[in-house]
Amino acid sequence: MNIFNQTNFANLSLKNRLWRSATWLGMADNQGYVTDRVKEEYRKLSKGGVGNIIVEFTNILEEEKTYPGILSLATDKHILGMSELAKIIHENNTNAFVQIGYGGSTTSMPIEGREILGPSAVPNISTGIVPKEMNEADIKKIVNGMAEAALRAKNANFDGVEIHAAHGYLFSQFLSPYFNQRTDNYGGSITNRGRIILESLDAMRKKVGSQYPILIKMHCDDQWGDKGLSVEDSIKLAKELEKRGITAIEFSGGNIDNQTGNSPLKPKLHKIEDQSYFKDEVRKIAEELSVPVILVGGNRNVELMNHILNNSKIQYFALSRTLLSEPDLPNKWMENPEKKPRCVSCNNCWAEGGNNCIIDRKKRA
């Protein structure tokens, strides 16, 4: 087996095992509508050879503003632009998915005039924001918002949706013992901490049906001691998601506490032993599951990915920073599997007005 094999995934044919992991571009307008810049970036990705594209973290509620230039599926008015985006992705035999979720206290936007929801009223390690502890009505609002956004994605002709339960956003916070200090049915055990995610999956299934692909991005390990989600808890939650009809799971990891040095975006990946850096934890989890598992985080070497593919139950590989730098990297790898990515994992992708490789920004300056 190799990463360029064609495979079947749910009701879809995948031209290879490579996924573009959902990556915020910051190029939508201030109401979350698709712009020409957004279309052009995804057109380049689609032409670049990656088999499957997960469109960036997309808002589910109109009042939610996680980041500048973030896309939205909060209203039916957003469907037209998103359907145009799905069509562009499909033009190159590439499958189109979209990631949906709620940011909460992990946000870079002004919070004045906004109600920021969280599992508990504890300060966000990264932003300092203290959210409102969610009541049952708030939880239902999020669950319903996820279901409605999933239906809009389906109506916009996306091939599937992905639940964002990673990287310190709301669902990830519910899974973390630091952020989630509740004593009701949504706190305590991993079953309770994952309840809002399971309820969202159930509600989404009622809207989109049993066959429509629903993925989830979650952590294999928060790497945060007793403050975070452990591998053991990840296995328990993943098994429950499998029972409820999840189609596949993309595993990331790390935490948003700058003091730990365990960010999901790890730098200095020149040595092959530092790459695909969640592989050991995800290999362990994949052994316990029957649904397809996607590994994200530092996938930069074709030989290493093929080794993981042939020596574990991990079936797919997702790329983020490397595709921000080189949208056509998969095509280049098909011509020369030994090619090293231009990306050096410097984490300077993020910039006001739109996120892309710092090399390209310097060229335009």
Condensed to tens digits (0 to 9), the pLDDT of residues 216-258 reads: 999 999 999 999 999 999 999 999 999 999 999 999 999 998 8
> Which pLDDT score, from 0 to 100, does residue 20 have?
98
Residue 82 lies in a domain: yes
Interacting residues of 136 by C-beta distance below 8 A, sequence separation 6+? none
> Which pLDDT score, from 0 to 100, does residue 46 have?
98
Both tokens of residue 351? 């910039």
Residue 212 lies in a domain: yes
Interacting residues of 345 by C-beta distance below 8 A, sequence separation 6+? 265, 266, 267, 268, 269, 298, 300, 321
State how far the Cα of 215 lies from the Cα of 99, in Å rounded to an integer: 9
**Residue 354 sits in a domain of what CATH number?**
3.20.20.70
């109401």: which residue's tokens? 31
Condensed to tens digits (0 to 9), the pLDDT of residues 37-68 reads: 999 999 999 999 999 999 999 999 999 989 99
State how far the Cα of 106 lies from the Cα of 86, in Å rounded to an integer: 27
Interacting residues of 159 by C-beta distance below 8 A, sequence separation 6+? 12, 86, 95, 96, 97, 213
Classify residue 347 by its DSSP letter: S
Condensed to tens digits (0 to 9), the pLDDT of residues 80-133 reads: 999 999 999 999 999 999 999 999 999 999 999 899 999 999 999 999 999 999
* Residues designated as active site: 169
* CA distances in angstroms from 217 to 47, 87, 157, 220, 252, listed in the order given: 25, 24, 21, 10, 7
CB 249 within 8 A of CB 237: no
Both tokens of residue 33? 């509508």
Residue 1 lies in a domain: no
Residue 78 lies in a domain: yes
Instruction: Of 204, 176, 202, give the one whose Cα is nearest residue 99.
Output: 204
For the chain, the domain total comes to: 1
Residue 315 lies in a domain: yes
Residue 2 lies in a domain: no
Bridge partners for 100 per DSSP:
58, 163
CB 16 within 8 A of CB 321: no
Residue 163 lies in a domain: yes
Residue 137 lies in a domain: yes
Residue 32: give the domain boundaries: 7-364
Condensed to tens digits (0 to 9), the pLDDT of residues 124-165 reads: 999 999 999 999 999 999 999 999 999 999 999 999 999 999
